Amino acid sequence: MIVCKFGGTSVASADQIRKVVDIVTSDSNRRIVVVSAPGKRFSNDIKVTDLLIRLGEKALSNGDTEKELCEVVDRYRGIAEGLGLSEQIVHIIEEDLRYRLSQDKEDSSLYIDTLKAAGEDNNAKLIANYLQFIGIDAKYINPKEAGLLVNNRPERVRALPEGDKRLSALKNEHAIIVFPGFFGFTEDGTLRTFNRGGSDITGSLIAAAVEAELYENFTDVDSVFAANPTVIENPVAIDRMTYREMRELAYAGFSVFHDEALIPAFRKSIPVAIKNTNNPSAPGTLIVKERDYNEQQVIGIAADSGFTTIYVDKFLMNLEIGFGRRLLQIFEEEEIPFEHTPSGIDNLSVIIRSKFLTKSKEERIVERIHKELEPDAVIVEDDYSMIVLVGEGMQYTTGLAARAATAIARTGANIEMINQGSSEVSLVFGVKKKDETKILKELYAEFFETANIHS
């Protein structure tokens, strides 16, 4: 059995959905299809999910929602008409949206979740309806019916293993299953959505539960590339990579695949294929447990901006028991996750994503550090980027860090921070945002351009 997931651009229009159906029906092993909400049809288009958020916010402000509702319904109507479907499916979708709008607004976050989930849910209904219309045995199944369980608030939403047994029953269905991505239900029936891009998670969860032979993730690119193609011209395509390598690259800015989505597949050792809906014959990228590290020590280079460093200095810090714990506890109590904590004997930096740090939180954190830890200095610096080299083979390669540092030095930029995890799958360089692009280009030239590859 193959589980395949199609992203927003793959299901954004009638023409794209026809491509999806051609792909699904070309292999009888493709039995479960996970779909996203309709994405962008062209560059300045608006995703249906964003239209639904706009609709929900208008409802929460007690405004007239008819215009925003019609925008969403019209997107589905355009797809249905393009596929030759009757108006009945559009009425079903409109009724569903009106029902969601009528729900309790007391918890605004859950209310928005309910509306956002309508994007995937109704697209799954529409696509299942089209498959039936052209004579294919197909069935829409809702995550609540299937038993996709998620945890309760206030924790960040995650799938619960208790739902795996229920989801495993999907493999007994004879029809092609069309399943909406992006959301699940708590035991008491409350709908919660995963983070944006969460349809990848749904697909991986189902693939693991039914113990699929392969999980295919269809998007709008031929493969995962060794670097951002908007920065590097014609970057090398990655044929095969490990779960850990993809996880590191996804975390560091590779948007082709949700980083959390690898966990269920990894646990069951299910290969994940990244493929292009618009070019399905392209080989794509296969994500597996292990690969031949000798072929390429560095598999990819990622760059991500929007980081803030809070630098704390205190003489004899290393002798003060519990200093690091108390520092990180301040961030925990302010509900701010940290990314890296490089340190010396008398100093410790906490690197966080700037989006979590409002001005008031920053002032409060600095004040608390001064009061509770009595440091010699606390310095806050913004506009950092993290450049990440990723590769399972790096731990077996002598001098790789020196090559990277030398390449960065050639750009004239300064390295603000270096961090390497104990697994040695990634090597992180903290740099100023203004230097990000030139450093990425120089590192790519060092490790991927033919004349510079070191065996």
- Taking only the tens of pLDDT, the chain with its 455 residues reads 999 999 999 999 999 999 999 999 999 999 999 999 999 999 999 999 999 999 999 999 999 999 999 999 999 999 999 999 999 999 999 999 999 999 999 999 999 999 999 999 999 999 999 999 999 999 999 999 999 999 998 888 999 999 999 999 999 999 999 999 999 999 999 999 998 778 999 999 999 999 999 999 999 889 999 999 989 999 999 999 998 898 888 877 776 776 778 889 989 999 999 999 999 999 999 999 888 877 678 999 999 899 999 999 999 999 999 999 999 999 999 999 998 888 889 999 999 999 999 999 999 999 999 999 999 999 999 999 999 999 988 877 888 889 999 999 999 999 988 887 666 788 999 999 999 999 999 999 999 985 444 43
What is the per-residue DSSP string for 24-60? HHT-TTEEEEEE-----SSTT---HHHHHHHHHHHHH
Domains identified in the chain and CATH numbers:
2-288 (3.40.1160.10), 300-452 (3.30.2130.10)
CA distance 314 to 326: 14
Side-chain-side CA neighbours of 341 within 13 Å: the count stands at 11
Nearest Cα neighbor of 70 from 87, 86, 51, 85 is 51
> Model pTM greater than 0.95?
no
Q: Are 231 and 292 in contact (CB under 8 A)?
A: no
Question: Do the beta carbons of residue 228 and residue 291 sit within 8 Å?
Answer: no
